């Protein structure tokens, strides 16, 4: 979803330079798209076209080298025989939003099955699968008109995450964490506490840590809850994706696809 890509770009310059506040230029001078955007676009194509997930992810990531891929995933990208490697990294959750978007008017089971399809080729650890499912479920619920409180209660009950803390309580002790367990709950809180899309992304980036991925998870949840400003999408495409027209094309195609 565009929420993931806009969040990724906005958070990219703070991944290794945490800011600790919500007061920052939304698209800073060192922002760019990262692996979160590339993998989100790959999942969109996988689900739109029925592409084999492993081959599609490899193709997209090889076409966009040097975008901050994690070590094990980078090895998987280059493998001649890619197989799941038991990961529970947050890459499972940052790329999954198209599964919810394309199934937003279909039964929940179809959204979760799509999430599983996009996840299991790499992140087949139970925590990786759970993290991706939780994000897809939250987005799906928001598209059904569920308010933040209902989304919070449902995700806590279904996945065992603690979503009771506020952003202000999380921020002081939060540290860089690349796992689903240490990223998904915090990113969901950032979206569920937000007043609008931009506020959710600012919440996520303000935590520090893996800022682009936190924002790429919070962003699509907030988009489903609040909508996303057209001007942010246009600015992201114009300023940062000029060298990645394939990302823009597949996202536009996804949004034209009837639910």
The tens digit of pLDDT for each residue in 152-175 reads 999 999 999 999 999 999 999 999
* pLDDT for position 253: 98
Q: Is 24 exposed, middle or buried (0-12, 13-18, 19+ CB in 10 A)?
A: middle
The share of the chain scoring above pLDDT 90, in percent, equals: 99
Q: What is the distance between the alpha carbons of residues 94 and 68, in angstroms, rounded to a whole number?
A: 13
Q: pLDDT averaged over the chain?
A: 97
Which tokens sit at 63?
């076409």
pTM of the model: 0.98
Enumerate the domain spans of the chain. Answer: 2-256
Q: Is 196 exposed, middle or buried (0-12, 13-18, 19+ CB in 10 A)?
A: middle
- In Å, what is the CA distance from 3 to each residue of 36, 76, 121, 157? 11, 26, 24, 25
Other C-beta atoms lying within 10 Å of the C-beta of residue 216: 38
Asked if 5 contacts 37 with a C-beta cutoff of 8 angstroms, the reply is: yes
Mean pLDDT of 70-98: 97
Asked if 187 contacts 93 with a C-beta cutoff of 8 angstroms, the reply is: yes
Beta strands in the chain (DSSP E): none
Q: What is the distance between the alpha carbons of residues 70 and 66, in angstroms, rounded to a whole number?
A: 10
Buried b (16+ CB within 10 A) or exposed e, 220-258: bbbbbbbebeeebbeebbeebbeebebbbebbeebeeee
Q: Which residues pair with 179 in a beta bridge?
A: 89
The tens digit of pLDDT for each residue in 213-250 reads 999 999 999 999 999 999 999 999 999 999 999 999 99
pLDDT band at 89 (very low <50, low <70, confident <90, very high): very high
The tens digit of pLDDT for each residue in 100-134 reads 999 999 999 999 999 999 999 999 999 999 999 99
Indicate if the pLDDT at residue 259 is higher than 90: no
Give the list of residues 6+ apart from residue 230 with CB closer than 8 angstroms, or none: none
Which tokens sit at 84?
């799941």
Homologous superfamily (CATH) for 2-256: ADP-ribosylation/Crystallin J1 (1.10.4080.10)
Asked if 20 contacts 171 with a C-beta cutoff of 8 angstroms, the reply is: yes
The tens digit of pLDDT for each residue in 65-79 reads 999 999 999 999 999
């Amino acid at each position: 979803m565009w929420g993931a890509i806009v969040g990724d770009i906005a958070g990219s310059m703070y991944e290794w330079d945490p800011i600790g506040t919500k007061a920052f230029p939304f698209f800073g001078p060192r922002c760019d798209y990262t692996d979160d955007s590339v993998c989100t676009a790959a999942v969109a194509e996988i689900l739109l076209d029925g592409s084999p997930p492993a081959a599609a992810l490899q193709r997209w990531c090889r076409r966009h080298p040097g975008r901050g891929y994690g070590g094990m995933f980078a090895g998987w990208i280059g493998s001649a025989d890619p197989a799941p490697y038991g990961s529970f990294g947050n890459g499972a959750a940052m790329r999954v939003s198209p599964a919810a978007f394309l199934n937003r008017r279909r039964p929940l089971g179809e959204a979760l099955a799509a999430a599983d399809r996009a996840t299991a080729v790499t992140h087949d650890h139970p925590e990786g699968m759970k993290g991706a499912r939780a994000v897809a479920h939250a987005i799906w619920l928001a598209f059904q008109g569920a308010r933040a409180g209902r989304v919070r209660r449902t995700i806590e009950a279904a996945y065992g995450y603690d979503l009771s803390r506020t952003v202000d309580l999380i921020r002081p002790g939060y540290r860089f964490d690349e796992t689903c367990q240490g990223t998904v709950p915090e990113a969901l809180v950032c979206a569920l506490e937000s007043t609008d899309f931009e506020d959710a992304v600012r919440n996520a980036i303000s935590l520090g840590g893996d800022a682009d991925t936190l924002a790429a998870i919070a962003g699509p949840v907030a988009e489903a809850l609040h909508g996303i400003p057209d001007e942010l999408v246009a600015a992201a495409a114009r300023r940062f994706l000029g060298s990645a027209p394939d990302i823009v094309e597949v996202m536009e195609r996804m949004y034209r696809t009837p639910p």
